[in-house]
Structure 1
Amino acid sequence: MISTLWQMFAMIACGVAWRYWRPGGLSAEQTRSVLTTVVYYLLLPALVLDVLWQADVGVHSLQYTLFGAACLSFAMACIWLAGRLLRFKPQQMGAVLLATSFPNVTYLGLPVLEQTFGHWARSVAIQIDLFATAPAVLTVGLAAARHYGQDGDQGRERFWSFLVAPPFLAAMLAVALNLYRVPAPEWLASVLQKLAAGVVPLMLISLGMALNWRAVTLRNLPYVTPVILIKMALMPWFALWFSQYLTLDQAHQDALVLEMAMPCMVLGIVFCDRYQLDSSLYAMAVTVTTLLSLATLPFWYRIAAG
């Protein structure tokens, strides 16, 4: 597990280095925008289609959704209570709610699960993202950003927008082909596999580009502390407890727990910018939890695996 994480963080470090060296005069923001767009619209849908077309899709997929919804709801309730007790201002409350509730199940979770458990774990990461996390982000997360933010453009993002997202459309197509047992042509499977191979390194490099060290300030520490405690401790603990009630084998339970132990998702910074939440606070939460995950992920893996 430690060796796997060091490999992941080596690729993240490439993104961090790009932010400072700016090869070709391209900033990290410009380059990350291009990389994430290519991944989101082309490479990730290819990976989703390749994996779910051949995956074992069934009743256990509903358990992924139930598990994800329960864990996200628990984290959201915890940070809401903490924010109320500590009297966070609306801009800070919206930022910490997004940071705490939604883990980085794809950009970091997918490569970590694949390297730790094997290729079968890619299906777990993709399903927990597309059938639990992504719908929650673009419904409950979006509603929270609008509620605590200011001057949000209500027409730019709809609650049902995840239904037309390329990865979700690819997932629906893959599930249909899977359930109707349509065989994948050899040439198409080869193309999908080659496209899918670029997802992990590009996602990790773009994650490194998103880390903002200037956002790590003492001013944000009182707000980030409850995020760290809930995200890196309470949420994985709840996931470990809840996973015991699922009718899944131990390996799948361990993979799900590890997904809920992931650091903050990167996408939330978009909502913070759009709805004028505390973007600096969110950026610090992403940076700090990503670094801490180098220690916390092996810990929760050992706990889950017994």
Structure 2
Amino acid sequence: MNTTLIQMTVLMLCGAGWRLFPLPGLSADQTRLVLTSVVYYFFLPAMVLDVLWKADIGWQSLKYSALGCSTILLGIVCSWSVTRLFKFKNPQTGAVILAAAYPNVTYLGLPVLEQTFGPWARSVVIQLDLFAAAPMVFTTGIALARYYGGNADEKPKSLFGFFNAPPFWAAALAVVLNLNHIDAPVWLAGLLQKLSAAVAPLMIFSLGLALSWRAIRLRNLPYLLPVILLKLLLLPWAAMHIADAVQLREQFKAAAVLDLAMPSMVLGVVLCDRYRLDSALYATAVTLTTALSLLSLPFWFRVL
């Protein structure tokens, strides 16, 4: 685990270094937009198809969905309670809830779990993302951002429009092929494996591009303590007990809980910008929880 995190840290620091010393005419934000777009629209759907085509889809998938959704909902309730107790203003309330409840299950979870447990862990990450985290982000996450944000006049999009995206279409195709026991041709299986291999390093490098130590401001620190405690300590502990309740087996339980112990998701920055929440606060939460996860993840790995 420590070796894996060292490798991930070096790759993230390369991305952070690009932010400090960008190439002329190619800023960190521009580079991140290009890389994440290529991953989202091309490499990630290929990996989803590769993984889910061969995955054991069934009751296990429902268990991942129950575990992920329950943990995120618990994070929403706990973080909302904290914001009510301390009377946070709406922009800070929305940012704190998003930062505390929604983990970075794919962009950081995928490379960490794959390197720690092996290639089989990719199936855990993909199913947690597609059957729990992503639906929760596109429903409750956007609803919370709209409610606490300043862009309330925006017309809500159709729920089905949120799922009209390449990874979801790839997942639907993979499930159909999987359940009908259709084997992938050798040439296609090899191609999908090569495309899948590009996802993890590009995600980690993009995460480094998104981190900004300049976003850390003293005024945001009082809001960050509940985020750190919930995201890195309380919710992983709760996820362990929820995993026992849904009867996940040991190796799958360890991988799933560790994935839910990841720091705050990067996508939340986009929601904060779009709905006029406290983007600086959220960026600080992402940066600090990602840095502190280098300590918390080995701890939970040993516990699990």
CA contact (8 A) 2:12 2:208 kept: yes
Instruction: Tell me the residue number matched to 2:261.
Output: 261
SS at match of 2:64: helix
214-223 vs 238-247, which moves further: 238-247
| Structure-2 separation of matches of 1:259 and 1:152 | 33
Instruction: Tell me the residue number matched to 1:88.
Output: 88
CA contact (8 A) 1:215 1:280 kept: yes
Once the two structures are superposed, residues 212-251 of structure 1 have per-residue CA deviations (whole angstroms, 9 ceiling, x without a partner) of 1111111000111110011011100100111112332200
CA contact (8 A) 1:64 1:132 kept: yes
* 1:161 CA drift (Å): 2.9
| Structure-1 separation of matches of 2:240 and 2:63 | 14
Following superposition of structure 1 onto structure 2, how do residues 181-196 of structure 1 map, counting pairs within 5 Å?
A: 181-196=181-196
* 1:192 CA drift (Å): 1.1
CA contact (8 A) 2:19 2:209 kept: yes
Structure 1 residue identity aligned to 2:107: Y
Computed over aligned residues only, the root mean square deviation of the Cα atoms, in angstroms, reads 1.1
CA contact (8 A) 1:142 1:159 kept: no
| Structure-2 separation of matches of 1:9 and 1:147 | 35
Structure 2 residue identity aligned to 1:147: Y
* 1:25 CA drift (Å): 3.2
Change in CA separation of 1:157 and 1:36 when aligned onto 2, cut-off 3 Å: farther
Once the two structures are superposed, residues 110-160 of structure 1 have per-residue CA deviations (whole angstroms, 9 ceiling, x without a partner) of 111111111110000000001100000010000000000012563475433
Tell whether 2:137 aligns with 1:100. Answer: no
Change in CA separation of 1:124 and 1:257 when aligned onto 2, cut-off 3 Å: same
Once the two structures are superposed, residues 239-273 of structure 1 have per-residue CA deviations (whole angstroms, 9 ceiling, x without a partner) of 01111123322000001110111000000000100
Structure 2 residue identity aligned to 1:160: F
| Structure-2 separation of matches of 1:6 and 1:88 | 36
Instruction: Tell me the residue number matched to 1:161.
Output: 161
| Structure-2 separation of matches of 1:153 and 1:55 | 42
Instruction: Tell me the residue number matched to 1:109.
Output: 109
Instruction: Tell me the residue number matched to 2:36.
Output: 36
Following superposition of structure 1 onto structure 2, how do residues 43-82 of structure 1 map, counting pairs within 5 Å?
A: 43-82=43-82
CA contact (8 A) 1:68 1:128 kept: yes
Structure 1 residue identity aligned to 2:119: H
CA contact (8 A) 1:212 1:283 kept: yes
Q: How many residues are treated as equivalent by the alignment? A: 304
| Structure-2 separation of matches of 1:111 and 1:157 | 32
Following superposition of structure 1 onto structure 2, how do residues 245-256 of structure 1 map, counting pairs within 5 Å?
A: 245-256=245-256
| Structure-2 separation of matches of 1:268 and 1:161 | 19
CA contact (8 A) 1:145 1:275 kept: yes
Structure 2 residue identity aligned to 1:63: K
Instruction: Tell me the residue number matched to 2:173.
Output: 173
CA contact (8 A) 2:215 2:280 kept: yes
Instruction: Tell me the residue number matched to 1:292.
Output: 292
Tell whether 2:5 aligns with 1:2. Answer: no
Following superposition of structure 1 onto structure 2, how do residues 192-203 of structure 1 map, counting pairs within 5 Å?
A: 192-203=192-203
Instruction: Tell me the residue number matched to 1:131.
Output: 131
* 1:13 CA drift (Å): 0.9
| Structure-2 separation of matches of 1:95 and 1:21 | 29
Structure 2 residue identity aligned to 1:249: R
CA contact (8 A) 1:232 1:262 kept: yes
* 1:172 CA drift (Å): 0.9
Structure 1 residue ranges without an equivalent (≥5): none
Instruction: Tell me the residue number matched to 1:239.
Output: 239
Change in CA separation of 1:61 and 1:300 when aligned onto 2, cut-off 3 Å: same
| Structure-1 separation of matches of 2:3 and 2:65 | 30
CA contact (8 A) 1:139 1:160 kept: no
Once the two structures are superposed, residues 15-72 of structure 1 have per-residue CA deviations (whole angstroms, 9 ceiling, x without a partner) of 1010011024310000000000000000000000001101111111000000011100
SS at match of 2:201: helix
TM-score under structure 2 length normalisation: 0.98
| Structure-2 separation of matches of 1:153 and 1:264 | 27
Structure 2 residue ranges without an equivalent (≥5): none
Structure 1 residue identity aligned to 2:69: A
TM-score under structure 1 length normalisation: 0.97
| Structure-2 separation of matches of 1:185 and 1:266 | 36
